Amino acid sequence: MIAPVPPGAAYPAPPASPYGMPQAPQPPAPHLPSGAAFTGFSSPIPVAPARFSHALRSEWTKIRTVRSTMWTLGVMLVLVLGIDLLVVAALNGHDESDMPVLAPGLFGLLLGQIAVITLGALVITSEYGTGMIRTTFTACPSRSRVLAAKALVFFLVSLVTTTVACLITAAIADSVFAGRSAGPNDFGAAGVVVHNGVTATSGGQWLGATLGAGLYVALLGLLALAVGTLLRHSAGAITTMLGLVLLPLIVALFLPSSLGSARRGLIRYSVPNGLASLYHVPMIGDADQNGVHQLITLAVVTVVALGAAFAVVNTRDV
């Protein structure tokens, strides 16, 4: 039995190696005051508790550095601006028009929204696909905090980008079509504003065609993020969202005339009609001209889907 070494004393000389080489000397035992306990290593680097702002910075770094953001938002801008220029050029040769001044921006946004929906799904499903979500949840064990940061960062990025794109298309259409002499088709046409005999725009039309349209598309992307959290699969989430966007209108077109009320309801709250109503060109006459009801309905559906996503992400394995 080896006798204990008194505190502060050096270790005895090491025995010689069987090969004739002395072993490395051992460090002296740490000297502790009588009755004191060893508490372990203390880092000189200050450690701060994780906060929501840290999760926000992390998600902002992710969304601005991955290539999917650049490609999806870039495609959205090309579609919205490019199709708007084509529509403006095609309508510029006609002296009379029965649509509102800002309506040409709608056509590009109907396709550009798909890019935002795709990005919303990829924000969460790409991490599940690569397994990176395990690292994310290890760095931030509060899964609700991670999902809230993802949702907030994506919503703000998509809202600002889409609203700026819509603002540019509205400015282009206003500079080309506003101030023209109103023809017989303009008077009484839905959504067309005529002031002193010339075509004009109203404050409600500007608000709907810019901030309203941007908010509607951003909510669609946020709904895609919630669906991606529930399904944890990129292709499944994107396909589901495309079905939600396109199927109500397609089904309504094939319903028999005996189901007229169901047809009107499907068309009224379909995504294409929601966007068209914000531009004051609804697909059916009894739909709201300003699209407020459709925007509120989409917001309620998105909140419910996000609530389900928060409940699921905290109750299942990665």
Give 10-residue mean pLDDT values along the chain (318 residues): 58 55 59 57 67 90 92 95 93 71 92 96 93 90 93 97 96 85 57 70 89 96 96 95 93 86 89 92 72 93 96 86
The pLDDT value recorded for residue 85 is 94
- Using a cut of 0.95, tell me whether the model's pTM lies above it: no
In the beta sheet, which residues pair with residue 194?
A: 199
The pLDDT value recorded for residue 286 is 58
Task: Name the token pair of 246.
Answer: 């396109």
The pLDDT value recorded for residue 151 is 96
Residue with tokens 């992400």: 313
The pLDDT value recorded for residue 186 is 54
The pLDDT value recorded for residue 81 is 96
The pLDDT value recorded for residue 112 is 95
Q: Do residues 249 and 273 touch, judged by C-beta distance below 8 A? A: yes
What count of residues does the chain have?
Answer: 318
Rounded Cα–Cα distance for residues 248 and 243 (Å)? 8
The pLDDT value recorded for residue 169 is 96
Torsion of CA 53, 58, 64, 68, to 10 degrees: -130
